[in-house]
Amino acid sequence: MSARDLFHQAVRNALEKEEWVITDDPLEIELEEVTLKIDLGAERLIAAEKAGEKIAVEIKTFASNSPVSDFHTALGQFLNYQIALEENDSERLLYLAVPVDAIEKFFSD
């Protein structure tokens, strides 16, 4: 099993609080004979007569001394995961979960 990010459980708890059902922890998906592991897969029923929403969530802590390096790592993984999802699970939307301080200090610029 790959290492989990520091905020993995907090993100999982937040999704469950919003009534998402965690279907995969991690979500494994194939891309050209390589198995990728996205941190979480979840789905939520919109209504009984409608199809369910499906998401995948990649969690990044941005805890190193280099937010630019963290960003490049997150972006690379996100793009790889997006391609794999388009090929294998196209109805699933991909999200990147980051701490609020990373948004305020890095992404807001």
The pLDDT, as a whole number, for residue 108 is 80
Task: State mean pLDDT over 80-108.
Answer: 91
pLDDT category at 88 given cuts 50, 70, 90 is very high
More confident residue, 60 or 49: 60
Q: Which structural domain, as residue segments, surrounds residue 70? A: 8-107
Specify whether the CB–CB gap between 96 and 78 falls below 8 A: yes
The pLDDT, as a whole number, for residue 36 is 93
Beta pairing, strands 52-59 & 92-97: parallel
101 CB burial (10 A radius; 0-12, 13-18, 19+)? exposed
Count how many domains the chain has: 1
For residue 75, is it within any domain?
yes
What CATH number has the domain bearing residue 46?
Answer: 3.40.1350.10
The pLDDT, as a whole number, for residue 85 is 94
pLDDT category at 5 given cuts 50, 70, 90 is confident
Beta pairing, strands 27-31 & 21-24: unpaired
For residue 39, is it within any domain?
yes
For residue 67, is it within any domain?
yes
The pLDDT, as a whole number, for residue 51 is 58
Residues 9-55 have pLDDT tens digits of 999 999 889 888 899 999 999 888 899 999 989 887 654 444 578 99
More confident residue, 44 or 64: 64
State the distance between the two ends of the chain, measured CA to CA, in whole angstroms.
35
* Interatomic CA distance for residues 30 and 2, integer angstroms: 16
